[in-house]
Amino acid sequence: MEYEKYHFISKPSLERHLEKIFCISKLWGIDVKLPSNSSVLELGAGTGDNLIPMAISYKDSFFIGIDKSKSQIERGNENIKKLGLGNIILLEKDFSKFKLSDIKSKNLNTKIKTFDYIIMHGVYSWVGDKVRESALKIIKKYLNKNGVSYISFNCYPGCIFRNLLIKILLKTQDNTKSLENKIKKVREDLNFLQEYLQDGNSPYASSLKQEVENISKLSDSFIVNEILNLDYKSFSLEDFLNNLKRAGLFYLSDTSFIRGFSENRKEENLKSNFENYESYIDLMFPKITRGVLVTNTSFQRKINLDAIDDFYISSPLVFSGGTGNIGEFKSPNGHSFEFETKAEVDFFKTLEKNWPKPIKLKDIECILRKKRVLDYFSKEFVNFFATNLNFSNQLENSPKVSNFAKIQLNNGDFCTNFRNEYVIFNDFQKEVFKLIDGKNTKDDILNRLIENLKNQNKYDVKVYDELKEEVEKTLKFFLETAYLK
């Protein structure tokens, strides 16, 4: 019942989108199936907000999601029914009891024996040892020989101060109290710690203070599932790899490609010391949560540069000036990067012109070595995609958005774009988004907003130009964030 009431909110992520999993797997030499014609299982699927957009995009693929939350599964299946999707099903089920015969749809059941992709996000560190073991057994049993599984977990030593804070918070808990009172007590203790550590300047106090501030902003669901969850456990990469080996599974790489790839690394290291190298990276540059890729069969790890020829490429970098062959570009978070050759500058200008839509390397009129492009990917200057995603890079007079995004917006504050990312909209953006239907023109949207303001006695003719400009700005925002078809 605790999980039913305080479950994690199901949200999408580019990191566990099939497009990214496919591209990284191909770069490491795995002959995984294209997302557009594959079978996918997600353990801990929640409301299916990660799977449903992919089921919409890949009509010839099949998707199965499992979660123990009855309310989330029911809500997800309601959305699937509204969208008329026949290639996805969500099941209320414990992992340990899952079998293919549970699938109710005959069309799905007759086609699937193993899966090309198995996704497990927000599960591994948050369940007991038996469930964790069962989940790995499912991956071993149902992942096909060229398949790839995505698994996320909280990683040591990145979690060292979170684990310490959890121990502090659990020390003052009274197990006889109700769950609501336990949550209240955690909030009280976090407030106390913020005041107590306010003047602490030691590295220890500063790090603990930062963790307290981070946790204080999070939801009650997080408090229940991470702070008060006695099954919660973080893992060093070494411990995680040992668990994989016991299950007969094989580690491929982190989904953050730079952690496994460096221009200066020797090929021999990829073959013999790769796992030790990544463990070393974890100690030097720790992160709290790791997303990793896993296979069901052994393989020879080798960078496959030729795979890049088949990828679609995009970049969010924006040209901000330059002299001669030198060009300066800015990232969405405001960081500046300089490129010193005409080929590099032309490369990123071309990607900027096509943003957010990706294009193939052969369609970019400049000559760059594929190894250089791979280096850009590892530094997150560019993204790779397996397919030419179905969204627009031009603002049409009557724009369209995904029906699923509209359903999500009616249910909450976020909705999924065509890159499997989500954005929290402000109130004005929500109002504009709801009016986008492929029929309303930009002028129609503006007039509807004016009509709504008049009905509320809030319209002033003096703000017409300002409102028109704001509508244009909002539609451009939806275009640049890949929400428009």
Q: Is the pLDDT of residue 372 over 60?
A: yes
In Å, what is the CA distance from 448 to each residue of 406, 438, 453, 454, 474?
18, 15, 9, 10, 15
What is the rounded distance in angstroms from the CA atom of residue 96 to the CA atom of residue 102?
Answer: 13
Confidence at 282, pLDDT banded by 50, 70, 90: confident
Q: What is the CATH number of domain 2-157+234-295?
A: 3.40.50.150
3-class secondary structure, 60: coil
Q: Average pLDDT of 139-153?
A: 96
Determine whether 234 is exposed, middle or buried from the number of CB atoms within 10 Å of its CB (0-12, 13-18, 19+).
buried
Q: What residue spans define the domains of the chain?
A: 2-157+234-295, 160-227, 306-385, 403-480
Q: Average pLDDT of 181-187?
A: 93
User: What confidence score (pLDDT) does residue 414 get?
Assistant: 78
User: What confidence score (pLDDT) does residue 348 get?
Assistant: 95
Tokens representing 249 are 């599974």
Amino acid identity, position 16: R
Helix axes 179-196, 160-171, angle to 10 degrees: 120
What is the rounded distance in angstroms from the CA atom of residue 314 to the CA atom of residue 348?
Answer: 9
Is the overall model pTM greater than 0.85, yes or no? Answer: yes
- Supply the mean pLDDT for the chain: 88
Give domain 306-385's CATH architecture.
Alpha-Beta Complex (3.90)
| C-alpha neighbours within 13 Å on the C-beta side of residue 226 | 20
User: What confidence score (pLDDT) does residue 1 get?
Assistant: 46
Q: Which of 154-163, 304-313, 460-469 bottoms out in mean pLDDT, i.e. has the lowest?
A: 460-469
User: What confidence score (pLDDT) does residue 105 get?
Assistant: 57
> What does residue 115 show for φ and ψ, rounded to 5 degrees?
-115, 145
pLDDT tens-digit series, residues 236-279:
999 999 999 999 999 999 998 776 565 445 445 555 678 888 88
User: What confidence score (pLDDT) does residue 428 get?
Assistant: 92
| Beta-carbon contacts of residue 212 (< 8 Å; ≥ 6 apart) | 165, 190, 193, 194, 197
Task: Name the percent of the chain lying above pLDDT 90.
Answer: 60
For 121-221, list the strands marked E by DSSP: 143-156
Neighbours of 371 (CB within 10 A): 11
pLDDT tens-digit series, residues 93-135:
888 788 887 776 555 655 688 999 999 999 999 999 999 999 9
- Chain centroid to Cα 374, Å, comes to 21
Q: Is the pLDDT of residue 394 over 80?
A: yes
User: What confidence score (pLDDT) does residue 413 get?
Assistant: 66
